[in-house]
C-alpha cells in the first residue's frame, strides 16, 4: 500500500469516526432531552397549608401544575341551592341554565329533586322523559360560548322503565356553524346495540372498550368524565375524544375529524334524549328518569381531586374540589367532601393540562404534625 493510499484511508477513517461521534453526540442529547424533568414532568405536591375540613381553604404547594388562564371552571353546580321540584336556575358558577326540550305535548324542563341523592347531597338535577307526553329530549346547559376543547364531568343515576328505547344519549355538544356542527355525543342503542359509543356526526364513531352498556350503567350513581378537543387545523384528523367512568378510561381516540370547517363548540346539553317511537326492530320505548349531581365544565382538565385511594391509577372514587387560585407552584381550593364522610386520611391529587396527576396521592391528615419549615443543626 502506498503512503498516499494509506493517508487517504486514514483520513477517511478519521472522518467516519468523527461522523460516528457526531451521531452519538446527537443521540446523547436527544436522550438527555427525553430524560429531562420537563419531558416527563407531572404535578408534584410537597406541602399543604390550611384547615382540612369541608368549606375551608387549602393551599397546595408543589411543582408542575402549569399555568391556568381562567382559574374557575366555565360551570359548576351541586344543585343544592335550588328548591325541590322547581325548574333549574343559576348554577354556583357560570351562566344560568337554559333548556332544550322536545315533546309532543307539555314539555317538562330539568328540575331540582330530592328523590335520588348522593351521600351528603340535599338536591340533584332531574330530567324526565315520559312516553305519556312524548318527551324524548330533556336537557339543560348553555349556549353562546366558543371553545375548541371541553373537559366536563358529572355524577349520573339513570332509571329506565318499560320497553327499552331505540336511542339514548347522555349529552350533546353542538357547534356554532349554521348546521350546528361540530357536534359530539355519547349514545347507546339499547334495543339493538347497547354498548356506549361516541359520535361526532361526521360519520365517525368509537365504541368504549371497558364493557359499558346501557343496562350495566343504570340504577346506581356513577361518575362520568369527558375530554373532547377539536381537530387543529380543521383539515387534520387529530381530534381527541376520551371518556372515563368511575376513573376507568373506556374511550380513548385521538384521530377523529370532528369538524371540517373552522367552527367551535358553543352549545352544551346534558340530559339528553330517550326515544319513544318504534323504528325497525325496536318497539316504542318506555319512560326514563335521569338524575345528575356535581356537574363541572371547563376548557382544560386542570383540576384538584380528592380520593380514598393512595395512587391515582387505582382511584375509582374521586371528588372534585373548587379552585380559587392557580399557579405553576401553588393552587388554592375550597374543600368539599362530596360523598365522603370525612376528608381525614384521604388523598389529594393535582391534574395538569395534559390530564396527568401526581401518581401518589398526598395524604390529608388532620392529626399529623406539620412539616418543619427549617432545620437547625446543633
What is the rounded CA–CA span in Å between residue 300 and residue 261?
A: 22
- CA 343 and chain centroid, separation: 23
CA atoms within 13 A on the CB side of 225: 23
pTM confidence score: 0.88
What is the rounded CA–CA span in Å between residue 170 and residue 188?
A: 9
Which DSSP category does 153 fall into? E
Cell of 151: 373537559
What is the rounded CA–CA span in Å between residue 284 and residue 272?
A: 18
Omega within 30 of 0 (cis) for the link into 77? no
Question: Rounded to a whole number, what is the distance in angstroms from the first to the last CA of the chain?
Answer: 75
**pLDDT one-digit tens code per residue, 174-216:** 999 999 999 999 999 999 999 999 999 888 999 999 999 999 9
**Full pLDDT tens readout for the chain, 378 residues:** 433 333 333 344 434 444 444 444 444 344 444 444 444 589 999 999 999 999 999 999 999 999 999 999 999 999 999 999 999 999 999 999 999 999 999 999 999 999 999 999 999 999 999 999 999 999 999 999 999 999 999 999 999 999 999 999 999 999 999 999 999 999 999 999 999 999 998 889 999 999 999 999 999 999 999 999 999 999 999 999 999 999 999 999 999 999 999 999 999 999 989 999 999 989 999 999 999 999 999 999 999 999 999 999 999 999 999 999 999 999 999 999 999 999 999 999 999 999 999 999 999 998 776 555 444 444
CB 189 within 8 A of CB 180: no
The kind and range of the H/E element at 22 are: helix 3-35
Which DSSP category does 233 fall into? S
Angle (CA) 356 359 365, round 5°: 120
Amino acid at each position: 500500500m502506498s503512503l498516499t493510499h494509506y493517508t487517504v484511508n486514514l483520513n477517511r477513517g478519521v472522518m467516519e469516526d468523527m461522523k460516528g461521534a457526531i451521531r452519538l453526540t446527537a443521540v446523547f442529547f436527544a436522550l438527555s432531552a427525553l430524560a429531562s424533568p420537563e419531558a416527563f414532568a407531572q404535578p408534584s405536591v410537597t406541602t399543604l397549608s390550611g384547615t382540612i375540613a369541608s368549606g375551608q381553604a387549602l393551599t397546595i404547594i408543589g411543582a408542575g401544575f402549569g399555568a391556568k388562564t381562567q382559574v374557575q371552571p366555565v360551570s359548576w353546580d351541586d344543585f343544592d341551592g335550588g328548591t325541590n321540584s322547581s325548574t333549574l336556575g343559576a348554577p354556583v358558577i357560570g351562566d344560568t341554565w337554559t333548556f332544550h326540550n322536545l315533546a309532543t305535548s307539555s314539555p317538562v324542563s330539568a328540575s331540582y329533586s330530592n328523590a335520588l341523592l348522593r351521600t351528603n347531597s340535599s338536591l340533584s338535577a332531574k330530567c324526565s322523559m315520559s312516553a305519556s307526553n312524548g318527551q324524548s329530549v330533556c336537557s339543560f346547559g348553555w349556549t353562546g360560548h366558543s371553545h375548541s376543547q371541553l373537559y366536563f364531568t358529572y355524577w349520573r343515576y339513570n332509571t329506565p322503565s318499560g320497553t327499552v328505547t331505540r336511542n339514548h344519549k347522555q349529552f350533546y355538544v353542538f357547534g356554532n356553524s349554521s348546521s350546528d356542527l361540530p357536534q359530539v355525543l355519547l349514545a347507546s342503542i339499547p334495543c339493538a346495540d347497547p354498548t356506549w359509543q361516541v359520535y361526532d356526526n361526521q360519520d365517525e364513531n368509537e365504541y368504549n372498550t371497558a364493557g359499558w352498556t346501557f343496562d350495566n350503567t343504570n340504577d346506581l350513581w356513577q361518575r362520568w368524565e369527558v375530554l373532547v378537543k377539536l381537530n387543529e387545523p380543521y383539515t387534520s384528523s387529530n381530534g381527541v375524544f376520551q371518556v372515563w367512568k368511575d376513573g376507568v378510561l373506556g374511550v380513548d381516540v385521538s384521530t377523529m375529524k370532528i369538524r371540517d370547517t373552522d367552527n367551535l363548540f358553543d352549545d352544551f346539553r346534558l340530559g339528553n334524549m330517550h326515544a319513544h317511537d318504534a323504528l325497525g326492530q325496536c318497539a316504542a320505548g318506555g319512560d326514563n328518569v335521569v338524575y345528575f349531581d356535581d356537574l363541572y365544565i371547563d376548557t382544560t382538565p386542570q383540576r384538584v381531586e380528592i380520593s380514598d385511594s393512595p395512587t391515582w391509577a387505582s382511584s375509582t372514587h374521586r371528588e372534585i374540589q373548587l379552585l380559587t387560585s392557580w399557579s405553576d407552584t401553588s393552587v388554592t381550593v375550597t374543600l368539599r367532601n362530596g360523598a365522603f364522610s370525612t376528608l381525614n386520611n384521604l388523598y389529594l391529587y393535582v391534574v395538569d393540562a395534559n390530564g396527568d396527576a401526581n401518581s401518589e396521592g398526598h395524604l390529608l391528615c388532620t392529626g399529623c404534625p406539620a412539616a418543619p419549615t427549617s432545620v437547625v443543626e446543633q
